[in-house]
Amino acid sequence: MSIDLANQIVTGLLTGLVYSLMALGLSVIFGVVRVVNFAHGEMTALAMYAAWALFSWLELDPLIGLPLIALLLFALGYVMQRGLIDAFVSKPEHMQFILLVAVAIVMVNGSLLVFGPDAHGIQVPYGFDTYEVGPLLVDKVRLLAAVAALAISGLLMLFFRHTMTGKAIRACADNLVGAKVIGLNVKQLYAVTFGIGSACVGAAGALLAMLIDVMPSSGPELTMLAFIIVIVGGLGSMGGALLGGILIGISEVLAGYFLMPSMKSMFSFAILILVLILRPQGLMGARK
């Protein structure tokens, strides 16, 4: 393997870890609330705009502004679930689909109205720094973003495994009737779950803003990317979201290396089709 190809694979791995965090939010929400958030990418774009605004107006590094953005998105997700989506949880799936597509359209057009059609990017002072790891050159921004994404993903898994709220949320996901029987406040836990999934989106958006530009059309593209990742990894599987993000991240850079960057989506969809044919439940999804 050439050094150049190895560098590309490392770049894809680091980018994929940030993708994983974004997809993790979608997977958590579906795994518990059983609602597919079709506004997921649009919420990611909102977080990217927030990171850009904090950097441009207050010169706040996205890594420092990340907790604030995650908190804002948690609040947005919590309010959306309690005030809007909760009434549709027991409705037919097509009604949930229409509702969340409408929310996504509102977000896209709101972004267009506020920020305009132009792309906005963040150029941090260390944007061109690299680390030498043996023969490899590792981009500092991608490395920091990937480490942050991995740390947040790890904290989220610890939250679900070792906290009372996390265990209660898992109980709702595993056995909803049983959770109601023992007196768990399911509506409250659903709202907290949607908030946590949205906070993941907020954190991922802050990190992605350091890697790619944001524009109103970024939302639908990121929604599609998140869906590909969670379907490849297994819808509702946190580990699957991590694996799917890494696979898609590496496939994108390999498409650019061997063919051309504009063909990266073709590689992603090819992986999606293969997984749907060979393992429809996803690489780490449970067979039903």
- Whether residue 193 is contained in a domain is answered as yes
Q: Which of 54-58, 169-173, 281-285 has the highest mean pLDDT?
A: 54-58
pTM: 0.91
- Whether residue 282 is contained in a domain is answered as no
Burial classification of residue 9, based on how many CB atoms lie within 10 Å of its CB (0-12 exposed, 13-18 middle, 19 or more buried): middle
- Whether residue 249 is contained in a domain is answered as no
Lowest mean pLDDT among 150-159, 191-200, 205-214, 262-271: 262-271
Spatial contact of 216 and 202, defined as CB atoms under 8 Å apart: no
- Whether residue 275 is contained in a domain is answered as no
- Whether residue 54 is contained in a domain is answered as yes
Spatial contact of 203 and 21, defined as CB atoms under 8 Å apart: yes
Mean pLDDT of 273-286: 87
- Number of domains into which the chain is organized: 1
Could you list the residue range(s) of the whole structural domain that residue 169 is in? Answer: 1-131+140-221
Q: List pLDDT tens digits, range 150-171.
A: 999 999 999 999 999 999 998 8
Q: List pLDDT tens digits, range 253-266.
A: 888 888 877 777 88
- Whether residue 287 is contained in a domain is answered as no
- The amino acid at residue 247 is L
Mean pLDDT of 109-116: 93
Tokens of 93: 């799936």
Burial string for 45-63 (b: 16+ CB within 10 Å, else e) reads bbbbbbbbbbbeeeebbbb
- Whether residue 236 is contained in a domain is answered as no
Percent of the chain with pLDDT over 70: 99
Hey, how many other C-beta atoms are within 10 angstroms of the C-beta on 114?
A: 11
| Secondary structure of residue 210 in the 3-state scheme | coil
- Whether residue 237 is contained in a domain is answered as no
Considering only residues 183 and 143, tell me which one the structure prediction assigns the higher pLDDT. Answer: 143
What's the confidence (pLDDT) of residue 212?
92
Spatial contact of 217 and 109, defined as CB atoms under 8 Å apart: no
Tokens of 181: 């029987």
CA atoms within 13 A on the CB side of 13: 10
Please tell me the distance from the alpha carbon of residue 143 to that of residue 10, in angstroms, as a whole number: 9
Sign of the four-CA dihedral 133, 233, 224, 96: negative
Spatial contact of 287 and 281, defined as CB atoms under 8 Å apart: yes
Asked if pLDDT for residue 140 goes beyond 80, the answer is yes
The strand pairing partners of 94, in sequence order, are none
Phi/psi for 208 (5° steps) reads -65, -30
